[in-house]
Structures are given as C-alpha cells and as structure tokens.
C-alpha cells in the first residue's frame, strides 16, 4: 500500500471512531479526502463549496457550513474560506 493510501485509511479510521461526529461530518470529510487523493495529495487543497457539497450529497448550504466549521473546531481540517466567487477556499488536512 502506498504512503498516500495509508494516510487515507488512517484519517478515515480516525474520524469514523470519533463519537463527536455524525454521518454528515463523515460524508463531508470523505468528499474532502476524495478530492485530496484525486489532486495528488497536496499540502493545501483548493476547493469550491459546490465541489464539496456535490461530493457529500448536501443540498443545504446551512448544513455544509455547520459541518465544515465543526470539522475545523474538532481539528480534522484547517479551513481558509475565500469569499471571492472566482477563487477557491483552502483546506489543509490535519494529519
């Protein structure tokens, strides 16, 4: 197994065993991990809200903001929102 795959497996295992998170958090986190892996495992992942909401199957912007902020507070990610429609926000995975 590659180092990237080992990281993915350990990150996913960590969040699924945490009693503080719900299925909504796991869905969003899985979407983040998928984009991170597809992007070549960069230090900083540049993403749009639409990408993450589509990947997590969210329809509510309120649910998205609630979950992304809770993932940040629970220290699974560092989140740097960008309010410019033409630039993407930055997410860093806390490994």
pLDDT of residue 32: 95
Burial code (b: 16+ CB inside 10 Å, e: under 16) for 68-84 equals: bebbbeeebbebeeeee
pLDDT of residue 4: 79
Question: What pTM was estimated for this model as a whole?
Answer: 0.91
pLDDT of residue 38: 93
Distance CA 17, CA 35 (A): 22
pLDDT of residue 21: 93
Helices 49-56 and 61-73 meet at what angle, rounded to 10?
100
Distance CA 58, CA 75 (A): 21
* Domain architecture of the chain: domains with CATH: 3-93 (1.10.10)
Q: Walk along the chain (95 residues) and give the pLDDT tens digit of each residue.
A: 787 788 888 888 888 899 999 999 999 999 999 999 999 989 999 999 999 999 999 999 999 999 999 999 999 999 999 988 789 999 999 98
């Amino acid at each position: 197994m590659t180092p990237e795959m080992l990281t993915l497996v350990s990150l996913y295992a960590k969040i699924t065993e945490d009693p503080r998170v719900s299925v909504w958090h796991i869905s969003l986190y899985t979407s983040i991990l998928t984009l991170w892996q597809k992007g070549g495992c960069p230090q900083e992942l540049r993403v749009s809200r639409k990408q993450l909401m589509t990947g997590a199957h969210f329809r509510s912007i309120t649910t998205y903001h609630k979950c992304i902020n809770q993932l940040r507070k629970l220290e699974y990610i560092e989140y740097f929102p960008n309010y410019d429609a033409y630039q993407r926000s930055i997410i860093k995975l806390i490994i």
